Chain A
Amino acid sequence: MSHEEINQNIASIEENRSSRRSAILMGGAALAGLALGRTAFAQSATVTDADILNFALNLEYLEAQFYTIATTGMTLDQAGIATKGGDGTAGGAVTVKPNAKVAFTTPLLQKFAAEVAMDEQNHVKFLQSQLATAAVAQPPIDLMNSFNALAQAAGLGPSFDPFASETNFLLGAYIFEDVGVTAYQGAAGLISNKTYLDKAIGIHNVEAYHAASIRTRIFQAGSAVQIASQMIAAARAHLSGATPNDDIGVGVISGAATIVDNDDNGMTFARSTSQVLNIVYGGGPAGTGGAFYPKAMNGNIK
């Protein structure tokens, strides 16, 4: 059977998928009062593998900072992980509240958080090493105003401190992880080099392991936390600008848990770089940024 025949079949199947989100959407009321808009914009048509890897590196800087600060109270630079670019450009500042180390009380969660911090640091180091002199420096990152803005967007309240408690930490982590999965899946479709593609898929998987573990723990945290996750999923979906979207929060549909953020074909979905930027910028304009990246990302995709 030819690729074209398989393609045609897949195209047909994908049109049949319906979003599980519609069955679990708890954030409808919140969306009506959404504080942030979303900005659709066209992505440059010609991107190199280095552009894609640098886009991923920007995301990994964000994740690594979040988990490193949450588990140690230190930024990457303070922890000995360089954030400067391959050309020596200094990394941007991190905006975060003082003494942000989370007061973990559950050893299983604390250990897992430390594991994720290590993974994200490894991803930063791996991408930096692959990109060598082409690696971008860390852009300015905001882990304070960003969460407040997204909390408002999701209808969770005027402010949100992901470092305030274990539960808040879970929800803060949740905001990133599924987005990371969709971003890498989208990136995989843009990468030409087979070796880079293999590595990107490998990181994609690791982000999915993270996302699953976090979502499982949110499931176990009870209905209030589950509902918060559903409101965040709705906000992510709205911000991304994708239609239809498949972003679902954690809960139960027809007797089945929704640990996996996927569609009715049992497949996770991809987000374009533009859709990812829409989310992490909190709807801020391309090239200008906002939310987690107040000065936009570094590199050609921003």
Chain B
Amino acid sequence: MSKLEEILEKRRVSRRRFLNVAGTSAGAVAVMTLVEGCSDSGSTTTTTPTTPTTPTTPTTPTLTDADVLNFALNLEYLEAEFYLRAVTGSGLSSTDAGSGAGAVTGGTQVGFKTPAIQQYAQEIANDELAHVRFLRKALGSAAVNRPSIDLTNSFNAAAMAAGIGATFNPFADENSFIVGAFVFEDVGVTAYHGAAGLLTDKKNLAAAAGILATEAYHAGEIRTLLTQLDVPHITYANQISALRGKAGGGAETTLSASSIVAADTSSISYSRTTDQVLHIVYLNPTAGVVKSGGFFPNGLNGTITASAS
């Protein structure tokens, strides 16, 4: 009972919005259910194998859920910095980035001209900030700090590698911003899809699934918007897609008006291993051990930081 009271107390302290009386009492019931659920791991219908096999990542059999969630947190830091800076000109607060957080290079407020695009951007920024906060709270003291992030040289390097040109500034205007967003979103979907298979705990899996579908909403939104823009932008996006595919084991669907969804021939979304995701965010398709580069000039923080192959 003391654990429940502790949780309820935390809930009161950190609540961000006013909840009405009915909502609060319903919430109390939900807490009790969750607490009971934590101790009731012996359900006969949803038994989780104690040593789940994960054929896509045979080289990392000993990852804990905290390792996987911290891997996700690194990616959320990147997305949050990109969107927050695009919308507000400022990135994560020191509270949200952690003490000793790495520096962020680049990222300026986009001069939005279309209110709708600004509203889309604001929503995604809110979501990515919420993801950072959620994962940091879930991980507690085990949460890694924000690693160093580069939002200038990374996009230039990606543009060069993709054949778009010598430079690319996703903050230059609202259409460039949409292309910049495209760089991340489908990757987030595939990364979470892969990560879901690594998580051993059902509750953590449920949380990951909730973040994952949000990333898929973002990806579907960004891809829809790109099909409505002038040809150069969708071409840029597909050049980026090809680059991602080269670094990240394929897993890309060329974007067009009749292929909004990135999925395989069974209409099931792609999954990437942590290795493949690392090769993408480090902007280094070369097989082998890669520890840093691209968007993370000093590498990710945590246990999953270097590609094994």
Interface residues of A (CB under 8 A from B): 1, 3-16, 18, 45-47, 107-108, 111-112, 114-115, 118-120, 122-123, 125-126, 181, 185, 188-190, 192, 194, 197-199, 201-206, 208-213, 215-217, 219-220, 243-244, 252, 255-262, 264-270
Contacts and interface: CB of A to CB of B under 8 A. Distances in A.
B38 A115 contact: no
Interface in B234-280: 256-271
Nearest to B216: A208
B273 to A, nearest CB: 13
B46 interface: yes
A213 B213 contact: no
Interface stretch (B93-101, B155-163, B189-197): B189-197
A119 B119 contact: no
26 contacts: A1-B66, A1-B140, A5-B140, A11-B203, A14-B30, A111-B258, A112-B257, A119-B267, A189-B46, A192-B45, A194-B53, A198-B193, A201-B196, A202-B193, A205-B263, A213-B221, A216-B224, A256-B123, A257-B116, A259-B221, A264-B16, A266-B126, A267-B210, A268-B210, A269-B210, A270-B209
B258 A188 contact: no
B138 interface: yes
Nearest to B133: A265
Contact of B258 (A45, A114, A210, A269): A114
Given A10-B204, A257-B122, A262-B127, A209 B138 contact: no
A268 B16 CA distance: 18
A260 B45 contact: no
B127 A266 contact: yes
B260 A189 contact: no
B209 A201 contact: yes
B71 to A, nearest CB: 14
Nearest to B76: A266
A45 B45 CA distance: 8
A255 B16 CA distance: 18
Contacts of A268: 209-210, 213-214, 217
Contacts of A119: 261, 263, 267
Nearest to B33: A11
Contacts of B260: 112, 115, 209, 213
B268 A255 contact: no
B131 A126 contact: no
The interface residues of chain B, by DSSP majority, are classed as: helix
Interface stretch (B7-15, B282-290, B291-299): B7-15
Interface in B40-67: 44-49, 52-54, 64-66
Contacts of B133: 265
A228 B258 CA distance: 26
B305 interface: no
A7 B203 contact: yes
A209 B220 contact: yes
User: Interface centre among A6, A11, A264, A266, by most B CB within 10 Å?
Assistant: A266
A206 B123 CA distance: 20
A11 B8 CA distance: 10
A213 B257 contact: no
B142 A205 contact: no
Given A122-B266, A212-B217, A255-B122, A115 B261 contact: yes
A267 B119 contact: no
Interface in B170-200: 189, 193, 196-197, 200
Given A199-B268, A257-B120, A205 B212 contact: yes
Contacts of A198: 193, 196-197, 271
B218 A260 contact: yes
Contacts of A4: 38
B201 A7 contact: yes
B130 interface: yes
Contacts of A123: 266-267
B113 interface: no
B204 A7 contact: yes
